[in-house]
């Protein structure tokens, strides 16, 4: 196994977590998958950033996840998980779309790396484009605020990871952290607002 081969483990883990969020509509599962996604991105960031900077992304990500999840609990939106192993037609469609997108990226990312991003490792590029595409798919396929925000956060994780692999900017890292926290607060607001609108 060469020195970069192990990086496929967190890259695949991040894509599995993003794919879970794209496919399933079980809120406790989505919060857990987002937590795992931030952990996998943190591991990848540690290969291109000092651990002291990479840990900021992890802590911000977990704070974002906790903020969204607490907003669901506050509004009583966390329901008992039922039919966990049953997939609706919409979930099957989203799963197929996500698998197709990741397969397409896996085929064309090596060429893109050699032409455009030669300094970025292939596992990181695969995670970058996979997170960005799966995040956009999620944000565009559902109208519930919780899932839209998770989709935007997933897309932003891909953008942050790409930028981190190309250049170091403390100011931009702080800006990304602020945008993540801002999205979490906006998401929490809309989750609460959505719950209030559905009250009889």
Which single residue is written with the structure tokens 């329901």? 79
Residue 117 has pLDDT above 60, yes or no: yes
Q: Which domain holds residue 190?
A: 5-79+95-197
Give the C-alpha separation, 146 to 75, whole Å. 13
**Mapped to the 3 state alphabet, what secondary structure does 15-41 carry?**
HHHHHHHHHCCCHHHHHHHHHHHHHHH
181 part of a folded domain: yes
Q: Band of the pLDDT at 1, cuts 50, 70, 90?
A: very low
Q: Tell whether 52 is covered by a domain.
A: yes
The answer to whether residue 89 is domain-embedded is no
Q: Does residue 142 fall inside a structural domain?
A: yes
* Residue 87 within any structural domain of the chain: no
The alpha carbons of the chain give a radius of gyration, in whole angstroms, of: 17
Query: What is the average pLDDT score of the chain?
Result: 82
pLDDT exceeds cutoff 50 at 74: yes
User: Average pLDDT of 48-64?
Assistant: 86
Confidence of residue 91 (pLDDT cuts 50, 70, 90): confident
Q: C-alpha 195: how far from its chain's center?
A: 24
Q: Is residue 132 part of a domain?
A: yes
Angle separating helix axes 145-166 and 8-23, nearest 10 degrees = 160
Residue 114 corresponds to which tokens in the numbers above?
Answer: 């050699």
State how many domains the chain has.
1
- Mean pLDDT for 64-92 is 70
Taking 70 as the threshold, does the pLDDT of residue 190 lie above it? yes
């Amino acid at each position: 196994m060469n020195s970069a081969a192990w990086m496929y483990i967190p890259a695949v883990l991040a894509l599995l977590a993003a794919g879970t969020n794209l496919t399933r509509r079980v809120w406790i599962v989505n919060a857990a998958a987002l937590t795992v996604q931030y952990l996998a991105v943190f591991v990848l960031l540690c290969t291109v950033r000092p651990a002291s900077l990479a840990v900021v992304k992890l802590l911000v990500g977990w704070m974002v996840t906790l903020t969204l999840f607490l907003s669901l609990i506050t509004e009583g939106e966390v329901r008992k998980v039922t039919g966990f192993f049953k997939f609706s037609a919409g979930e099957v469609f989203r799963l197929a779309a996500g698998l197709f997108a990741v397969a397409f990226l896996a085929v064309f990312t090596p060429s893109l790396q050699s032409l455009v991003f030669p300094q970025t490792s292939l596992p990181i590029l695969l995670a970058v484009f996979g997170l960005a595409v799966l995040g956009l798919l999620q944000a565009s396929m559902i109208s519930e605020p919780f899932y839209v925000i998770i989709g935007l956060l997933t897309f932003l994780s891909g953008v942050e990871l790409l930028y981190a692999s190309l250049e170091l900017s403390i100011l931009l890292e702080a800006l990304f952290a602020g945008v993540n926290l801002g999205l979490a607060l906006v998401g929490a607001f809309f989750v609460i607002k959505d719950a209030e609108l559905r009250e009889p």
